[in-house]
Amino acid sequence: MCGIIGYTGSVFAASKVVLDGLERLEYRGYDSAGLATIKGSGLLVNRGSGKLRLIRSVLEKGMGSESVAIGHTRWATHGKPTEENAHPHVDNARRIVVVHNGIIENYLDLKGELSAKGHRFDSQTDTEIIAHLLADMENPDFLVSFRQAVLRLEGAYALAVLHVNYPDRIFFARKNCPLIVGHSENEGMFLGSDPAAMLSYTRTVTYLNDLEYGYIDPTSVHLFSLNSGEPLPIQKEVLDWNPVAAEKGGYRHFMLKEIHEQPDVVRNTLGGRLDEARGKVLLPDFQISPEQFSKIDRIVITACGTAYYSGLVGKYVLERLCRIPVDAELASEFRYRDPVINEKTLVIAVSQSGETADTLAAIELARARGATTMAIVNVKGSSLTRRVDGTLYIHAGPEIGVASTKAYLAMVVGFELFALYLSEIRNTLSSDSRREFIHELKLIPGKIEEQLKHKEDVLQVAQKYQNYRNFLYLGRDYNYPTALEGALKLKELSYIHAEGYASGEMKHGPIALLDRDCPVVAILSESSVYEKVLSNIQEARARDCLVIGVLTEGSTHSASVVDDSLITQRTIEVLSPLLNVIPLQLFAYFVSDLKGLDVDQPRNLAKSVTVE
Ligand code: AGP
């Protein structure tokens, strides 16, 4: 998730507006930044890699009181976080410059087409092809050719574009990525990824919708439908946010915002990787070949904390779909226990930050013993990605809340994708089964959105249980890891003791804990082990225990055997962890907020544990 800002007008120095805006947007991505303006008859483009405060002087070089500028702060998806991959990107003639948030799924096809026409590329990014495509398709009315070029883009984009022939205009288009116009009476016009970038100048905004395009000039916005080309009416809103609230998108906390970003995070992580018609997962830039994978006879997944729980889901999914032995190991244990691994072992390290010390050490051990190593990771170019043979990136964007939510979900999606990919190599799933899997996977974002509409129901349950001091979370099979993750969320956010357990293990000891003061949270969604979990719940209730059930929508029988329900949408069992974790994230969030705790930065925790 990157940040975009643009300004056109004669009241403020455009480069200063952009640099201030980029500072406000750094929470969206911060591995590199850049800005562009029109100086005389040409473009001035400054870029740098690293945090904005370290490269600000580089970005200001040569900038003065220009009247138009666009800027970008990057969260790398395609191409390492280097200067040549930083935005803005220009065409070969340096007449058009682009900044972009999103993922262009057909960029490789377009890059091949443009290269064949003689276009030369300087970066590894998908964005750069947009500048070349705009130049290649340019006609006398740039707005017409702008629309035609944008119609050729597949995937997600929020674009801001300058053209030297239109020195007071910023062209824009959006699809599946936020983009907002800021109106400032007589002081110019703004364009940005979210209001945070422009709040110090204006609170009057227009939220652009998908498949809209147009341009802003110093006095107004000109808005059109991408499909029809017809002009559209301008809807203005006046925001009462303060700048910090804007960074949270109007949510009380970054964690709540990130929980709500999860539908788009799943879409972005799946983006460009699913071919439903052929039942295939596409990992075009994956550095490990199918031949290498075909030699593997065992998989070890290693990670810490929430990432480990995503790896535990991965164990269940990979064994079921690929019929290969899989172990999930805590990195802090794996690195010291002298494990038996060899060149036929695939070791997968999973990590949001890619900097967790124990996970890095575990993968070093794996390499030293000849294993093939792979990472599932969020941060592009992080240490972990430089120590493995291949990386499968998730696209969760920067996760500010210390308690992981969207990154966890994206990691699980990463394992679902990899399992499907490996199942084809190992020929352990029919193409029909893969097609059904892909079809259901593509429905997950919408199902999460549906569940989030009922978050008030979760709040009511949290209000009822906020003062209990102990909880037991129970799950089985695919959702045993979900129980562990749900318990960790409550622990780290509300400082309440919560233990995750395989529900079949309850009678082997933990049942001694159960009484009126120790509620059970049980994952009782529709599954092949539903009856087993149900009997565990009845054992718990026989001890006068209160039970909160995570139930599949419409399962009336389940509702009668629990005291309170957290409802999830129906899906195939192998994907159920993606839906069942959502109410558990919300439950932990609401309990923490009700108790007045620091949701985004819980006590004693760090976002990335870079020491042992
Ligand atoms: C999760 O809510 C915690 N913040 C923590 O357990 C985290 O998952 C763990 O430290 C691993 O971090 P990583 O994903 O960056 O490797």
pLDDT tens-digit series, residues 503-562: 999 989 999 999 999 999 999 999 999 999 999 999 999 889 999 999 999 887 788 899
Which pLDDT score is estimated for 555? 83
Residue 3 β-bridge partners: 73
Q: pLDDT by residue (tens digit) across 342-371? A: 999 999 999 998 989 899 999 999 999 999
Quickly list H helices, 380-494. 406-425, 431-452, 455-465, 480-494
- Report how far ligand 1's centroid is from the alpha carbon of 409 (Å): 12
pLDDT for 83 equals: 81
List the beta bridge partners of residue 273.
none
Residue for token pair 């620091």:
598
Measured distance CA(367)–CA(376) in Å, rounded: 16
State which ligand 1 atom lies nearest to the alpha carbon of 489.
2
Asked if 67 and 4 count as a contact pair (C-beta separation under 8 A), the reply is no
Residue nearest to atom 16 of ligand 1 (CA): 351
CA atoms of 518 and 468, how far apart (whole Å) = 7
Count CA within 13 A, CB hemisphere, residue 33.
30
Banded model confidence at residue 29, pLDDT cuts 50, 70, 90: low
Active-site residue 304, yes or no?
A: no
For ligand 1, atom 5, name the residue with the nearest CA: 305
CA pair distance 339, 337, nearest whole angstrom: 6
Instruction: State the distance from the centre of ligand 1 to the C-alpha of 408, rounded, in angstroms.
Output: 9
Please report, in angstroms and rounded to a whole number, the separation of the first and last CA atoms in the chain.
30
Cβ proximity of 496 and 592 under 8 Å: no
pLDDT tens string 235-291: 998 887 666 666 788 899 999 999 999 999 999 999 989 999 999 999 987 899 999
Helix (H, G, I), strand (E, B) or coil at 44: strand
More reliable by pLDDT, 55 or 452: 452
In angstroms, the Cα distances linking 420 to 2, 231, 517 are 29, 44, 43
For residues 84 and 230, what is the distance between their CA atoms, to the nearest angstrom? 37
Residue 247 neighbours by CB distance under 10 Å: 23
Catalytic residue among 39, 80, 280, 607: 607
Å from CA of 338 to ligand 1 middle: 24
Please give the average per-residue pLDDT across 113-123, as a whole number: 96
Catalytic residue among 2, 322, 518, 545: 2
607 as an active site residue: the answer is: yes
Q: Which of 248, 231, 235 is nearest to 195 (CA)?
A: 248
Report pLDDT for 609: 74
Buried b (16+ CB within 10 A) or exposed e, 322-355: bebebbbbbbbebbeeebebeeebbbbbbbbbbb
% of the chain with per-residue pLDDT over 90: 79
3 state DSSP class of 400: coil
Q: Which of 27-41, 249-263, 381-395, 568-582 is most confident?
A: 568-582
pLDDT at 386: 87
- The residue contributing the CA closest to ligand 1 atom 4 is 403
Give backbone dihedrals phi and psi of 435, rounded to 5 degrees, phi first: -65, -40
Distance 403 CA to ligand 1 centre (A): 8
Half-sphere exposure of 279 (CA within 13 A, CB side): 14
Q: How far apart are CA 550 and CA 583, in angstroms?
A: 8
Closest atom of ligand 1 to 403 CA is 2
Every domain of the chain and the residues it spans: 3-247, 258-446, 454-594
Ligand 1 pocket mutation, candidates 254, 259, 306, 607, criterion most atoms within 8 A of CB: 306
- The reply to whether 258-446 and 454-594 are identical in fold is yes
**Test site for ligand 1: of 255, 313, 356, most ligand atoms within 8 A of the Cβ:** 356
**Ligand 1 atom having least distance to the Cα of 606:** 4
Interior angle at CA 236, CA 233 and CA 237, nearest 5: 150
> Two tokens at 362?
């575990």
Cβ 301 vs Cβ 310: under 8 Å: no
Whole-number pLDDT of residue 284: 82
For domain 258-446, the CATH architecture is 3-Layer(aba) Sandwich (3.40)
Angle at 353 between CA 294 and CA 264, to 5 degrees: 80
Q: What is the pLDDT of residue 558?
A: 80
Residue 331 CA, ligand 1 centroid: distance in Å: 12
Identify the CATH assignment for 3-247 out of 3.90.550.10, 3.60.20.10, 3.90.1150.10, 3.40.470.10: 3.60.20.10
Q: What is the mean pLDDT of the chain?
A: 93
Distances (CA, A) of 3 to 34, 125, 129, 157, 398: 11, 16, 19, 12, 11
Task: Write out residues with Cβ below 6 Å of ligand 1.
Answer: 304-307, 351-353, 356, 359, 402-404, 492, 608-609
* Tens digits of residue pLDDT in 203-244: 899 999 999 999 999 999 999 999 999 999 999 988 876 666
Gap from CA of 354 to ligand 1 centroid (Å): 10
How confident is the model over 34-58, as a mean pLDDT? 91
172-179 average pLDDT score: 90
Task: Say what angle helices 14-25 and 52-60 make with each other, to 10 degrees.
Answer: 170
Give the residues across from 180 on adjacent strands: 192, 207
Q: Which of 259, 302, 304, 409 should be mutated for ligand 1, with most atoms under 8 A from CB?
A: 304
Q: Could you tell me the pLDDT band of residue 28, with boundaries at 50, 70 and 90? A: low
Average pLDDT value for residue range 569-592? 98
**Pure H helices in 162-227:** none
d(CA 553, CA 566): 9
**% of the chain exceeding 70 in pLDDT:** 97
Most informative mutation of 609, 610, 611 for ligand 1 (most atoms within 8 A of CB):
609
Alpha-helix runs per DSSP H in 174-252: 243-247
Tens of pLDDT, residue by residue over 179-210, are: 999 999 789 999 998 887 888 899 899 999 99
Q: Is the confidence at residue 174, as pLDDT, over 90? A: yes
**Residue 492 Cα: closest atom of ligand 1:** 2
CA pair distance 87, 66, nearest whole angstrom? 19
Q: How far is the CA of 309 from the centre of ligand 1 (A)?
A: 10
Quick one: pLDDT at residue 462? Answer: 98
DSSP type of residue 88: P
CATH code: domain 454-594 is 3.40.50.10490
Within 8 A by CB and 6+ apart from 460, the residues are none
SS3 299: strand
| Residue 566: CB atoms within 10 Å | 26
